[in-house]
Amino acid sequence: MYLDKFHETTEHFAPANVPDLAALVAAPLNEAAERRIEPDWTEPRPVEFLDLQFTRISMVEAIEAIVARPPSAPFSYIVTPNVDHVVRLQRRRSDLWPAYRGAWMTLCDSRILARMANAVGRDLPVVTGSDLTAALFEQRICTDDRIAILGGTEDMVSRITQRFNLRDVRHYNPPMGFIRDAREVAEAVGFLVEAKARYTFLAVGSPQQEIIARRVSRTACASGVGFCVGAGLEFLTGDQERAPRVVQQMSLEWLYRLSRDPQRLWRRYLVEGPQIFRIHQTWRRMSVSLPGSAGRLVP
């Protein structure tokens, strides 16, 4: 990986590893679950950027590929990395990488990342998790489709059920801090496996939702498509307000969110987020210096 050297040279970015999270992501299950079964679709050539393999696909193409999958197909999931995710991945080194590399689609959730990629000649389409979630509910999810939701309040789920006239919604909201309790993790994974939903929305925050999605995907009898959506369902119900479209297009959605919840978000956006520039600089330098990388970047 291009960023292996980054890990060696920037120790202050990487506090002590979290063994329980690493074990949750990487622990083997059974032989059948280890088999990687891809959906029957023509996968576009990925865009390699910051050691992630982003799926080069538009919103419309992503939705069509999702809807085309049979409901009984083996469980696959979609991740939508943004700046916060990338910084966390580098800070925790390898602990969380399997959860992202095991995804069926990796969609860029950040216009800032897309601009950085474009600056080095990488065409990285922006397909945000919130927009994808809204489009699925508003355009393609049918009344009789079975939906599973991990996280969120009963009131939120009830409003989604009523608004979209859904008849089969399964919901489980694990307790705070559940990811550090093996029994609670097993409960969450078991709920999603047993639900056998066509569409599963994991709304327990990152990296919890990616870890759980990875675990479900490695369980032999799990089916459907999982979406790691964070606050996507809360945007859908209006419990949280998204930035105006013009603010999003200016790559300033982070500033809008910070202004509305500074006490919770100041560290993410003012301390941790800016680390992306050093990460990008290091990745770019390694991309040029490592053998076989010549010509892959625009000078």
Q: Sorting pLDDT into bands at 50, 70 and 90, what band is 16?
A: very low
Q: Domain spans of the chain?
A: 4-289
Our CA dihedral for 232, 88, 18, 208, rounded to 10 degrees, sits at 10
Answer yes or no: is pLDDT of 179 > 60: yes
More confident residue, 78 or 257: 78
- For the segment 160-183, the average pLDDT, to the nearest whole number, is 97
More confident residue, 265 or 201: 201
Q: Is 199 helix (H, G, I), strand (E, B) or coil?
A: strand
Cβ atoms 167, 143 nearer than 8 A: yes
Question: What pLDDT shows up at residue 94?
Answer: 61
Question: What pLDDT shows up at residue 90?
Answer: 87
Residue-wise pLDDT for 115-128, tens only, equals: 999 999 999 999 99
Answer yes or no: is pLDDT of 100 > 60: yes
Q: Can you tell me the distance from the alpha carbon of 103 to that of 83, in angstroms, rounded to the nearest whole number?
A: 18
Q: Sorting pLDDT into bands at 50, 70 and 90, what band is 93?
A: low
- pLDDT, the chain, mean: 85
Question: What pLDDT shows up at residue 234?
Answer: 95
DSSP 25-89: HH----HHHH-----SS-PPPPEEETTEEE----HHHHHHHHHHS-TTSBPEEEE---HHHHHHH
Instruction: Look at strands 199-202 and 225-228 and give their pairing.
Output: parallel
More confident residue, 1 or 171: 171
Question: What pLDDT shows up at residue 286?
Answer: 86
- For the segment 71-90, the average pLDDT, to the nearest whole number, is 95
Answer yes or no: is pLDDT of 89 > 90: yes
